[in-house]
Chains A and B, each alone.
Chain A
Amino acid sequence: MRRRRRFPWLSYLLVGVGAVVTVVPFLDMLLTSFKGAGEYGRLPYRFLPEAFELSNYREAFVRLDLPLLFRNSVVATAVITGSVLLTSSLAGYALAKLRFPGRDLIFRLVLATMMFPPFVFFIPHFLILVHWPLAGGNGLLGDGGAGLTVSLAALVMPFLVSGFGIFLMRQFIVSVPDEMLEAARIDGAGEFTVWWRIVVPQTKPVAVTLALLTFVSAWNEYIWALLVSTANPRLMTLPVGIQTLQSYLDPNRMVPVMMAGLMLSVLPVLLLFLLLQKYYIRGVMLSGLK
């Protein structure tokens, strides 16, 4: 952008200071994770650790069942991302390219789903999972057992379909030329084949965007995971598990261990974001939210 630049230094100063404020907490998390026993909390405050110790990472592995936490986080994130991609693509294709009675009504319903704040659903979702029929020892009417709260299903169920995902896919699929679909149909392809062979390959860029947005929010989900793991500790995910560290008595000892655990939970997403940021940023621009 060619503009009058009378005060470029002012811009550099402002943006630079802001960037430091944004990045420093991450650096503090990283550096604190290397601080030795008794070093955190000592006054005066020192930004850098005296020696880079790995003992906090070892301690995190001892205190937490990290393999279980990782497994739960990975499985839940993978299932949610896969399901959102699949259902959004199928529904998006139907809403964009097929003609059927009720289409406009369903599309409006999909738009409306984006308006409901998630906290309205915490209580009913929890109760629905507890009373899910014929699961976890429940009878046909959903009584008697623990329902789906005994299984990993509890972590993923409320997130398997995304109204925003359907909307995003539909908007993109509308622009796939009708002639391509027609050509396939004339060759005798059914609608499922048309979707799989023509539409899915055409929608790859938007699928990457949607996958990344879904991955990040599923990996970082906290409140719902906290709820279901309160009912069943075997369902703890990384964020929930690491948060349990704070209940240990000596905070000055525990803080560096916690930062080590947080580094482990944050790194996968940060790396993925740095690799694929252009898709993520496009998604945020498209959704305008978050």
Chain B
Amino acid sequence: MATTVGSADEDGGGGRGSTDAALCGDEDGGREGVRAAGSRARAAAHRRRRRQTVVAYLFLTPSLFFFAVFLVLPLLFAVLLSLSRWAGFDLADIRPVGTDNFAALFARGSSFLTPVLSNTLLYALGTVVLALSGAVLVAHCITNLRFQGLWRTLYFLPIVTTVVAVGNVWKYMYEPGGLVNGVLNALGLRSAAFLQDPATALPSIVVVQAWASLGSAILVLTAGLKAIPRSYYEAAELDGAGQFTVFARITLPLLRPSLLFVCVTQFITGLQSFALIIVMTGEGGPGDATNVAALEMYQRAFKYGDWGSASAAALVLFVLILVITLVQLWLFRRKGEDA
């Protein structure tokens, strides 16, 4: 009996502990014994639960401390800053100004809506369109080839490479003496000033961002392709459907969840990115041609020391991304109901 209660003690699950005790009681044949063992087991289970709570919170302490200091506090701080004017490092100098910072962002003549926010949207949209269409084609074609792993590894290289390398290599490939213009010249075309011309600067960087994100898109789409039952293709083959019909009528519709996923995550990544732009153009130039919201925030804060309006810009972009994330969740849920 003692050993059984002991094991109930180790068990911790209140329900199971009392069942064990009840079983013992039946063996003893007395109701008194059942009650005594039951209450002892309950007390033990209670002690055990309390000990488990303490241990669990001990295990969680580093993470919770971190989230408090580097997540909750900064969020509150960002909101506070966005409602203040502050140019220094002395916390006593913070002056509340209400919603002035937001008003200034959206004021007539402010560059925040155009070109900064419009650039941000174009950048994200362009990246998604290029990366997604490229990834669909490549992921689909790879399934016809041998050495699939090798191909995917090649496409994956840019993802594990630092943005400083990606940005600089492409920046110098776009230069007059670089590879891209070299190829253009070899084809008999004139050199283009890709990053110096306001008309071509943003698209030129969009291409690089799409190039860099192709690999992960291919990976997700490959997983989606592998999930499509072979029998669908066999049935289509029996019906004599051509390859393009099969692709348009079977592959694409069944791939919709993966497509949607890649589309939305890449779009959100595109809205946030600015490191590539810093590396390739320095300050979002020429003029504001490649300036995007996150870069604008970065410069307002760390170049001009205007923490208030920088935080306001960050929060506007944050809300935009939050809305898009919610739409994404909504779309996914609807998709789940369809299926």
Contact = CB atoms under 8 A, between A and B. Distances in A.
Instruction: Decide if A and B are genuine partners.
Output: yes
Contact of B78 (A8, A45, A123): A123
A150 interface: no
**What is the predominant secondary structure among interface residues of chain A facing chain B?**
helix
A45 B177 contact: yes
Interface in B158-199: 158-166, 168-170, 172-173, 175-179, 181-183, 185-186
B298 A119 contact: yes
A61 to B, nearest CB: 18
B40 interface: no
A98 B183 CA distance: 61
Interface in B267-325: 268-269, 272, 274-275, 278-279, 294, 297-298, 301-302, 307, 310-311, 314-315, 317-318, 321-322, 325
A249 interface: no
A255 interface: yes
A123 B53 CA distance: 36
Given A32-B172, A43-B176, A160-B66, A290 B216 contact: yes
Contacts of B102: none
Contacts of A25: 158, 166, 169-170, 173, 179, 211
Contacts of B59: 90-91, 93-94, 98, 191, 195
Contact of A128 (B70, B178, B297, B325): B70
A290 B56 contact: no
Contacts of B141: 10-11, 14-15
A14 B157 contact: no
B229 interface: no
Contacts of B318: 116-117, 120
Nearest to B326: A115
B28 interface: no
A204 interface: no
Interface stretch (B17-25, B107-115, B121-129, B148-156): B148-156
A130 interface: yes
Contact of B52 (A11, A98, A161, A186): A98
B104 interface: no
Interface string B195-236: 000000000000000010011100110010000001001000
Interface string B129-161: 000001001100111110000011111111111
B10 to A, nearest CB: 5
Contacts of B170: 25
A64 interface: no
A280 interface: yes
A8 B144 CA distance: 7
Contacts of B159: 284, 290
B157 A119 contact: no
B171 to A, nearest CB: 9
B339 interface: no
Contacts of B99: none
Interface string B229-256: 0100100010000110010000000000
A51 interface: no
A175 interface: no
- Counting chain A residues whose Cβ lies within 8 A of the other chain, the interface size class is 35 or more
A220 B162 contact: yes
Given A15-B141, A143-B90, A45 B169 contact: no
Nearest to B172: A255
Tell me which of B57, B91, B141, B294 has the highest count of chain A C-beta atoms within 10 A of its own C-beta: B141
A11 B77 CA distance: 53
B43 interface: no
Interface string B54-82: 01110110111011011101110110010
Nearest to B152: A281
B66 to A, nearest CB: 4
Contacts of B77: 124, 127-128
A165 to B, nearest CB: 9
Contacts of B161: 26, 220, 266, 269-270
Interface string A251-290: 1100100110010011001100110010011001100111
A157 interface: yes
B39 interface: no
Nearest to A157: B70
Nearest to A239: B164
B148 to A, nearest CB: 9
A62 interface: no
Given A18-B138, A32-B172, A270 B160 contact: yes
Contacts of B56: 94, 98-100, 103
Given A120-B75, A281-B156, 4 more contacts: A12-B145, A223-B274, A270-B161, A285-B219
20 contacts: A4-B233, A8-B145, A11-B145, A15-B142, A25-B211, A29-B169, A94-B55, A94-B59, A98-B52, A116-B75, A119-B297, A120-B315, A125-B70, A128-B70, A128-B74, A131-B89, A222-B279, A223-B274, A265-B165, A273-B160
